[in-house]
Structure 1
C-alpha cells in the first residue's frame, strides 16, 4: 500500500476516499490548533505592540515580527498564516517609515519572503496531517470490521477484554479474537499468530474469515479447527509463493450453549483460567492433549481432542494470549497472572478487566514487548 496525493493505493489499484467512506471511518479532518477567536485576539495584540515598539524603539525590534507567521504556520491554517504574514509585513513597513528608512527595501523583502515560505510550509503541514488522519481513520474502520469492539453480549455469554498491538501506530497485530453467534451457540476464537505487529495481518485476516464461515456451518468444534487449519495452510502457500515466511497460529476455540456448557479445542494455546468469584479461587483449565498450533496439524498423531465443562454463573472464564503471560517487568520478571487473578477473585466480575488492565500496564511500565489480547467470558 502506498499514498499518492492524498489517495490510498493498493497494488496497481487506487482507492480514493469519498465523503461516505470518511463518514464510515469517523473521519472529520484535522482541526486547527489555533481557534479563530484566539488568533484574532493574539494577532491584534501583537500588531498593536509591534506598532508601539516600532515607534518608540525603531525598526530593529519589529523585524522580530517576521517570525510571527512561522509560529502560526505550525498551529494554524493557511489563511491564518497568510494574515499573520501580512500583519508582520505591515508592522515592518510602518516601523521603516517612522525610522525614515522606507526607501530601504531589504527588511521588507526579507519579511515578505519569510511570510510566503511560511504559507507554503503551513499548506504542506496541513496536507500531510490530513493524509495521516485519513489513513488512520480508514485503518480504524477496518479494525472495527475485523475485530468486534468490546464488551460484547450474546444470548449465551458476555465478553469483555483488551486488545493492544505492540506497535504504537498500529491498530492491528498478530493477536486476534472473535465471537460469532451460530445455530450451535456462541463460538469464540482467541489466537496468536507467529510474529507480531503488522507483519502478521495477512494471516489474521485469513483466520478470521475462515472462523466466521465455519462457526456458522460446522456443528462439531474440532471440525471448525480443521477448517482453520486448512485456511492457515492455504495462506501459507500464498505467502511462500510471494517469498514471505510461513506462519503457525496458536488458538483456543470455544463454544457456549444456553445451559452454560463449554466446549474447548486447544491448538497449542495458553491455558484458560476459571475464576470462581464466590469461592474466591482460580482453577487453570488443563488439557490432557493440548494439540499442535494451526499450520502444524499434519504432525499430530490423531484428530484434535475436545474438552467440555460447565461455566457457573458466579464464574469468569479468562482466556488470553502469551503477550499477557510473557510480559516482563523492568527487572525481567514474568507477569504473575494466576497470582493476580487469585487476588481479584473475590471482586465483582465486572471489575476484573479494569483491574487487570491497570495492573499489567503498571507492571510493564506501559511498554509491551508483544501484542496483548485477553477476554473475560461470563454467562449473562
Structure 2
C-alpha cells in the first residue's frame, strides 16, 4: 500500500519568524500612517485586529505573544500621545485587554478542536490501514500492485476496500467502495472484508462468494438500523484468476476494470454491472459470472471513483482510459501511483474521495502451487 502522499501531520501554524516579521511590518505601517496623518486620531487601535487574524491560523502561544505586543504598543502610544481625559485612556486600555483576552480564548478553542479532529481522523486512517492488505502482493497466479490514498479532507475517511486471497480455488481479488464516508463506512467495509476472507476459501463458485458478501452487508445494515445508523450499499468486483484459464468476475455495481495490452491499447472490460452489495433483495435475478481473457503480457487495472470522478476546473471528469494509454510504457509496479498522480494534476490537487488503484498481471512462475484443486470442467 502506497500512502506516501498522505498528509499525516497536524495542521501547521505559520512559522514564528513569519509572524514576527508580519507583526513588525504591520505595526510600522500603522504608526507611519498615524504620524503622517498629523491628527490625534487613534489609528494605532487598528493593531488589535492582528491577534484576531492570527487566531484563525496560529498557535495559542503566537496569539498570546502578539496580543501582548499590541497591548504594549497601545499603552506606549497612549503614554506618548494621551487622550484628552484619563477616563478615555483607561477605557481604551480596558477595551484592548478585553478584546485580546477573547481572541486568545477563541484561538485556544480552535486549536483544541483541530487536535480532536486530527486524532479522530488519524485513528480512522490507522484502522483502515490495518484492515487493508499491504501491497504489493504475489500469489502463484498473479502479481498485484496497488495504491490506496484516503481523502485528505477534514476528518472524513472513505470506504474503499480491497483484498487478495490465494485460495484452493485460485487467486481471488476483491475491490469495492462503500457508500458514504467516516467510521460507519469503515465498519461496513470491515464486514465485507471479513466475509470475503472466509467465503473466498470456502466457496468453490464465485457467485457464492458474492452472495456471501451480499449477506454480510445485509446483516450489517440490520445492526446499523437498530443502532440508529443509516443503511449502506457497497459496489464491488470479485475476480478469480487461475493459470491457463480466463479470468472470472462478478460485478456488483462497480466500475468496470481496464485492460492494458502490451501494445499500449487500453480497453474497458465489458462487465455488466449488477446491483451493489446490500441491494440484492430488490431483484430476483441471480448474480452471474463473466469471463474475459487476461494475456500474459497484459495488465488489468481496477479503480474506484476517486480516479474517475476527479474533475478539472470546467467540471470535466478525468478520462482514465486516456490516462492509462498515456502510461503505456509504465511498468505495472509503478502504474497505480502514476495514474493517481495524473488524476490529481487533472483536478488541481483536489481530492473528493478515496483513491484505490490496483494493477494486476499474471505471474511468470510456471509451477502450479501444491495442493491446488484442478480446474473444473466448466471453467
What's the TM-score once normalised by structure 2's chain length?
0.68
Structure 2 CA distance, aligned partners of 1:165 and 1:318? Answer: 20
Query: SS of 2:199's equivalent?
Result: helix
Aligned twin of 2:366: none
Structure 1 contact 254–265 (Cα < 8 Å) conserved: yes
Aligned twin of 2:110: 125
Aligned twin of 1:90: 72
Q: Aligned pair 1:237/2:222, yes or no?
A: yes
Note the C-alpha offset of 1:116. Answer: 1.8
Q: Aligned pair 1:172/2:158, yes or no?
A: yes
Query: SS of 1:76's equivalent?
Result: coil
Structure 1 contact 26–137 (Cα < 8 Å) conserved: no
CA deviation string 1:289-346 (max 9, x = no partner): 876654455755667547475551x210122356766888888887665566456545
What's the TM-score once normalised by structure 1's chain length?
0.68
Note the C-alpha offset of 1:129. Answer: 1.9
Structure 2 contact 247–293 (Cα < 8 Å) conserved: yes
Structure 1 CA distance, aligned partners of 2:275 and 2:203? Answer: 21
Structure 1 CA distance, aligned partners of 2:324 and 2:30? Answer: 64
Note the C-alpha offset of 1:172. Answer: 0.6
Within 5 Å, which residues of 2 pair with 1:100-115? 103=86, 104-115=89-100
290-299 vs 199-208, which moves further: 290-299
1:160 corresponds to which of 121, 124, 146: 146
Unaligned runs of 5+ in 1: 1-24
Q: 1:242 to 1:115 in 2, by over 3 A?
A: closer
1:73 corresponds to which of 36, 45, 55: 55
365-374 vs 116-125, which moves further: 365-374
Q: Aligned pair 1:318/2:301, yes or no?
A: yes
Structure 1 contact 69–81 (Cα < 8 Å) conserved: yes
Structure 1 contact 271–286 (Cα < 8 Å) conserved: yes
Q: 1:124 to 1:248 in 2, by over 3 A?
A: closer
Unaligned runs of 5+ in 2: 1-5, 364-379
Structure 1 CA distance, aligned partners of 2:352 and 2:9? Answer: 33
Q: Aligned pair 1:267/2:251, yes or no?
A: yes
1:254 corresponds to which of 239, 261, 270: 239
Note the C-alpha offset of 1:262. Answer: 6.1
Structure 1 CA distance, aligned partners of 2:9 and 2:107? Answer: 19
Query: SS of 1:33's equivalent?
Result: coil
Structure 2 CA distance, aligned partners of 1:66 and 1:332? Answer: 42
Structure 2 contact 63–107 (Cα < 8 Å) conserved: yes
Within 5 Å, which residues of 2 pair with 1:54-73? 60-73=42-55
Q: Over the residues paired in the alignment, what is the CA RMSD in angstroms?
A: 4.6
Structure 1 CA distance, aligned partners of 2:66 and 2:273? Answer: 68
Within 5 Å, which residues of 2 pair with 1:1-380? 31-35=12-16, 37-39=17-19, 60-99=42-81, 103=86, 104-148=89-133, 151-155=135-139, 156-161=142-147, 170-173=156-159, 175-182=160-167, 186-193=171-178, 195-198=179-182, 200-218=185-203, 220-239=205-224, 241=226, 247-256=232-241, 259=243, 263-269=247-253, 270-277=255-262, 279-282=263-266, 284-286=268-270, 293-295=276-278, 304-305=288-289, 307=291, 309=293, 311-312=295-296, 314-321=297-304, 337-338=320-321, 341-342=324-325, 344-345=327-328, 348-350=331-333, 352-354=335-337, 356-357=339-340, 360=343, 373-379=356-362
300-309 vs 246-255, which moves further: 300-309
Q: 1:59 to 1:286 in 2, by over 3 A?
A: closer
Note the C-alpha offset of 1:368. Answer: 8.1
